Chains A and B, each alone.
Chain A
Amino acid sequence: MNIALGTMDRRTAPLHGVSSGNALADPASVSVEEELVRRALAGDGHAFAELVRPHLPVLYRIAARACGDVVLAEDAVQEALTLAYGRLGRYRPGTSLKAFLAAFAARQAHTLLRGERRRRSREETSASPDRGPEPLEVLAASRTMARVRAALAKLPRKRRQVVLLRLDADLSYAEIAQVVGSTEGSARVLVHLALKELRDALEDVLETAP
């Protein structure tokens, strides 16, 4: 388990409305991206891999958040990439590719979280076997992760999506608006409501958090 413990100050700024800086301001970057998109659409696998390479950690993080399993997360990322490739013709180079890809990852996460909810309900009804001793820190982190996943699974679909896009994909409000198909103001309100609901669900965890 590769849990990023101790990265506390990295993500403070984006939460206050500042763009996550994914925009490709450099025209040279735009032309490179455009060329990669064109080659990928022509069937060049290496071009597609190069196109998505910088965003693979974010996609993995969203998928892992949803399913809580490394192998499943890898499969989920692959499925999200397949979906994204199918719609790559609609992507306009120069806009946020990260938001474009994260939307598919979040959609896949919805499916995975639904499966996770079913699995949890099955495990609650049956006696779960004892996992055996684990290091205390890892055990506590696992429990916290499970709590976060459970809280996410209880959110309505759209709110869950914007939470993943905001907290895991680190998207700006403008990028979230692009993904969910609304205005930036509506996206801001949606994120605010989703985070409030999540805070209420994880109140005890947040109180004990350092």
Chain B
Amino acid sequence: MSDENHEDEKLSTLFDGTAEQPSPASLTKLHARAADVPGRVRRQRSIAWIVLPTALGSIAALAFVLVQHRSTSFSPTRPLAAVPRAVDTRPATPSTAPAEPPSAVARSESTAAPTSEPAADDVTDELGFDTDDSDDAIGAAAALDTELGPSEGDGIDAMDDPPSDANLDVWLRATDELMQEGG
């Protein structure tokens, strides 16, 4: 134990002998720096109080913008360009709900539209069709649609769209060619 104490004394002596002692100039400098510490710490804290809320606000604003951007990008109400337009598979029954009044734009279009084409009622009258019969036919088509199911009726419903004149001409020519080949 005494040897160990002796060794500790030697170690202590070694540390004392190799210790750096501050010069008076160093001590004066350290004292002056110590006097500056509270002011510097206070300045750093005040800067932190200014910078930290600003940084947090900027981060919050950025996060808000990103969240908004993501929500508009993946919104379910936004039409997706890559998805084809859904085919209308509803039955062709006339709606029993009262028709909505046409909007101002629609009214102006209807009044501005050329009146060279006769109204549908006029046409049926001229051709001798009974509107009741046509209603029955529509009802039968609806029943057929229901029997076939929505997927099988797609092709039929697609033809319900009013054909353009060009499409009609093409269709007529194709029909004529078919008749000639068959005849």
Please list the residues of chain A having a beta carbon within 8 angstroms of any beta carbon in chain B: 1-8, 10-12, 15-16, 40, 43-46, 48-49, 52-53, 56-57, 59-61, 64-65, 70, 73-74, 77-78, 81-82, 85-86, 141, 144-145, 148, 167-168, 195, 198-199, 202, 205-206, 209
Contacts of A43 in B (CB 8 A): 38-39, 42
Is B172's CB within 8 Å of the partner chain A? no
Given contacts A7-B16, A148-B14, contact A78 B23 (CB under 8 A): no
Contact between chains at B37 and A81 (CB < 8 Å): yes
Please list the residues of chain B having a beta carbon within 8 angstroms of any beta carbon in chain A: 5, 7-23, 26-27, 29-42
Some 21 contacts from A to B, beta carbons below 8 A apart, are A2-B23, A3-B19, A11-B13, A12-B9, A12-B12, A15-B9, A45-B34, A45-B36, A49-B31, A52-B34, A56-B34, A65-B19, A74-B29, A77-B33, A78-B30, A78-B33, A78-B37, A85-B37, A145-B18, A195-B8, A206-B11
Least Cβ–Cβ distance between A70 and chain B, in angstroms: 7
Contact between chains at B39 and A2 (CB < 8 Å): no
Complex: A114 Cα to B15 Cα, angstroms: 20
Contact between chains at A56 and B38 (CB < 8 Å): no
Given contacts A3-B20, A65-B19, contact A85 B38 (CB under 8 A): yes
Least Cβ–Cβ distance between B24 and chain A, in angstroms: 10
- Chain A residue at minimum C-beta to C-beta distance from B45: A86
A-B contact count (CB 8 A): 137
- Chain A residue at minimum C-beta to C-beta distance from B15: A167
Contact between chains at A206 and B10 (CB < 8 Å): yes
The 9 closest A-B pairs by CB, nearest first: A64-B20, A49-B35, A45-B35, A167-B15, A49-B34, A60-B22, A2-B21, A145-B18, A7-B16
Complex: A198 Cα to B34 Cα, angstroms: 33
Contact between chains at B26 and A60 (CB < 8 Å): yes
Given contacts A56-B22, A64-B20, A82-B41, contact A148 B31 (CB under 8 A): no
Contact between chains at B17 and A167 (CB < 8 Å): no
Known A40-B38, A45-B37, A46-B35; further 19 A-B contacts with Cβ < 8 A: A3-B20, A4-B16, A4-B20, A10-B16, A48-B37, A52-B34, A56-B34, A60-B21, A61-B22, A64-B20, A73-B20, A74-B29, A74-B30, A78-B30, A86-B41, A148-B18, A168-B19, A195-B11, A198-B11
- Chain A residue at minimum C-beta to C-beta distance from B12: A11
Contacts of B15 in A (CB 8 A): 11, 65, 148, 167-168
Contacts of A195 in B (CB 8 A): 8, 11
Contacts of B11 in A (CB 8 A): 167, 195, 198-199, 202, 206
- Chain B residue at minimum C-beta to C-beta distance from A141: B18
